[in-house]
Structure 1
Amino acid sequence: MRAPQSRTKSSSAALAPPVAAIRVAVRRALTELSGAGPVLVACSGGADSLALAAATAFVAPRLGRRAGLVTVDHGLQPGSAERAEAVAGWASGQGLDPVEAVPVRVDGRTGGPEAAAREARYEALVDAARRHDAAAVLLGHTRDDQAETVLLALARGAGPRGLAGMPERRELAGVALLRPLLDIAREDTRTACAALGLIPWDDPHNVDPVYARARVRADALPALVRALGPGVVDNLARTARQIAADTAALDELAAAALADVRAAAGGLAVEALAGLPPAVRTRVLHAWARELGAAPAALSHRHVAALDALVTDWHGQGAVHLPGGLPVVRRDGRLTT
């Protein structure tokens, strides 16, 4: 692939509105970040992550923070190793340090190809963050990515947690993942790259109809924009923010309620559970199931609904089997294993 390139930046290019908006977003994220370690930008070489990396290279030194870059080679396309090395070489030229091109193995993982690649990528990013004692990893997801995530969640019937979309910050295995660009349009990252003389790489998987997100990007979301207007993308992203705030509040209530419904003899007291609002009770049951050892990725609405039926629709039914074969029964006024 062709390496990202930078022409000499004019003052007008540096002050192009998308360039300024992305730098402001990065500055806000880094200003709110604690810890003295470097930040690492996850960069594929695409417009979103390339614009993020360029902004971070500009902003971080001015805040007295080191910034580096990690590019992950999934090995799924011809020339992927060369692409990764080209991105790494560009990053070093921008003063980013440390810089790594990390190969990963995707084959043999469970789930579809998108999920397998994502799992491998995040494992590599977490490992790199730990090697360099990084304060955070920055991800280049944009407002358009958020809108696509909400549509995919709607299609799956994912519920409020899925409709909350991607958070601006989350912890993964003790590593902070930040998404500074969730209020930035994808087109603005392309415009910023052009203003800065950067030539991004276009991942062919992003337009491959084999992948659900690619179909949403190419067909579903543009159809909604044509039917309902360009505000659809921003409205979907805004909806995710609103649902995320509501979900966080309900999660706090559920955490307090879980402590209150624990039975002295172990398990959860059915009578106390029955008195909780359904939205809180199902979150309590979800959190308790995870506490018992149910794998979060395998724990579904079906499992939580079956646990809830032991509380609200009890007619002597047998055990609910959680992922991993964990049985939960109702006995002596308690839910227990």
Structure 2
Amino acid sequence: MAKLPPSVARLRAAVRGALADLPEGALVLVACSGGPDSLALADTAAFCAPRMGLRAGLVSVDHGLQEGSAARAADVAAWGASVGLDPAEAVAVRVGKQGGPEGAAREARYEALDEAAKRHGAAAVLLGHTRDDQAETVLLALVRGAGPRGVAGMRAVRGRYRRPLLDVTREDTHAACEERGLKPWTDPHNADPRYLRSALRPTLEALTEVLGKGIVANLARTATLVGADADYLDKLAKEALEDCRLGKDLDAKRLIAVPAPLRQRVLQAWMLEAGANGSELNHRHLEAVDALVAAWHGQGPTFLPGGVAIRREAGRLLAEPSH
């Protein structure tokens, strides 16, 4: 028996580990653009899933942002069917403008994947993000001045979504495609500097040349370490939120006794509950609402994206429509 190429072996081990807890007969869908990462993941799932008593399918989302995108998504779906992925379908979406081009495309994509998962009764949706993507995410979070949750990067498991390849390099997915005779598509957006992640990649490559290849693994490890801490703080904040509730309002006097890092998590969770737009909510909004608790001197309401106003009255924080 021929020895399995190391890149293929690493992908298969990663996918088997990510699917090990699923019940027999469960369906997993792979989100596949046809690029090397998601194509290698789909090929690996097609191999591993039936050997684990699972079913595997594929969804290729056509964002409609490039010429020929519909035909390309259809080709990816046809390839999926040819290797035994069932269902294997292309889904067209309409990308809006809110949140910028990357954010709008991501929102449309996840809506389509959620709908496909519900329609087919999938237990999990697999995404092809690699260790390199994780390193880029951490750098982006640092550039944007994000807090610990941003630096924690992408999670291996979040709801129905799973990222089996977060400990696998982009070099491995490209090598696996070559070993398996796959012909991935190269997305021109990945080299388009108008997209922030694409613009960042040459910077990461330059840092790697100066500091060595270990920088990618170290950034990804930072995400894992910070993520564990952030999970614990989020758990404490959830408990504090329940302790500070007064119906739909919050007790400002109890909040002031909560340590600042937890208090801001409490406030953020509560603001999102109240209808604030999470994609537009930033640290300035959070600091202004926190000042209603920690630096109260009779100031007026704070207006949040999403049409929500937060004000303090009689020792309570109240959330109400701003229009």
Give the TM-score normalised by the residue count of structure 1. Answer: 0.91
Pick aligned residue for 1:230 from 206, 209, 213: 213
- Which residue number corresponds to residue 308 of structure 1? 290
Q: Distance in 2 between matches of 1:93 and 1:301?
A: 49
**Which amino acid is 2:178 matched to?**
A
Q: Distance in 2 between matches of 1:242 and 1:19?
A: 27
SS at 1:329's partner residue? strand
Deviation (angstroms), 1:266: 5.6
Deviation (angstroms), 1:94: 0.6
- Which residue number corresponds to residue 19 of structure 1? 8
Pick aligned residue for 1:112 from 73, 96, 100: 100
- Which residue number corresponds to residue 279 of structure 1? 261
- Which residue number corresponds to residue 6 of structure 1? none
Deviation (angstroms), 1:34: 5.0
Residues 211 and 335 of structure 1: CA distance in aligned 2, closer, same or farther (over 3 Å): same
Pick aligned residue for 2:116 from 123, 128, 131: 128
The reply on whether 1:197 has 2:186 as its aligned counterpart is no
Q: Which runs of 5+ in 1 are unaligned?
A: 1-9
Deviation (angstroms), 1:89: 1.5
Pick aligned residue for 1:245 from 203, 224, 228: 228
Q: Distance in 2 between matches of 1:197 and 1:287?
A: 47
Pick aligned residue for 2:168 from 184, 187, 195: 184
CA deviations on 1:172-220 (whole Å, 9 max, x unpaired) are xxxx011000000001001111111111111111111221111111x11
The reply on whether 1:52 has 2:41 as its aligned counterpart is yes
Q: How many residues align?
A: 319
Does the 8 Å CA contact 2:61/2:93 hold for their aligned counterparts? yes
**Which amino acid is 1:119 matched to?**
E
The reply on whether 1:40 has 2:24 as its aligned counterpart is no
**Which amino acid is 2:197 matched to?**
R
- Which residue number corresponds to residue 319 of structure 1? 301
Pick aligned residue for 1:216 from 193, 200, 216: 200
Does the 8 Å CA contact 2:129/2:166 hold for their aligned counterparts? yes
Residues 336 and 126 of structure 1: CA distance in aligned 2, closer, same or farther (over 3 Å): same
SS at 1:11's partner residue? coil
Residues 273 and 140 of structure 1: CA distance in aligned 2, closer, same or farther (over 3 Å): same
Q: Distance in 1 between matches of 2:295 and 2:171?
A: 51
Identity of aligned pairs, percent?
A: 60
Q: Distance in 1 between matches of 2:73 and 2:243?
A: 51
**Which amino acid is 2:81 matched to?**
S
Q: Distance in 1 between matches of 2:163 and 2:248?
A: 40
Note the aligned Cα RMSD (angstroms). 1.5
Does the 8 Å CA contact 1:45/1:87 hold for their aligned counterparts? yes
The reply on whether 1:261 has 2:244 as its aligned counterpart is yes
1:123-162 mapped onto 2 (5 Å cutoff): 123-162=111-150
Residues 129 and 45 of structure 1: CA distance in aligned 2, closer, same or farther (over 3 Å): same
- Which residue number corresponds to residue 90 of structure 2? 101
Q: Which runs of 5+ in 2 are unaligned?
A: none
Q: Distance in 1 between matches of 2:183 and 2:306?
A: 47
Q: Distance in 2 between matches of 1:293 and 1:266?
A: 12
- Which residue number corresponds to residue 57 of structure 2? 68
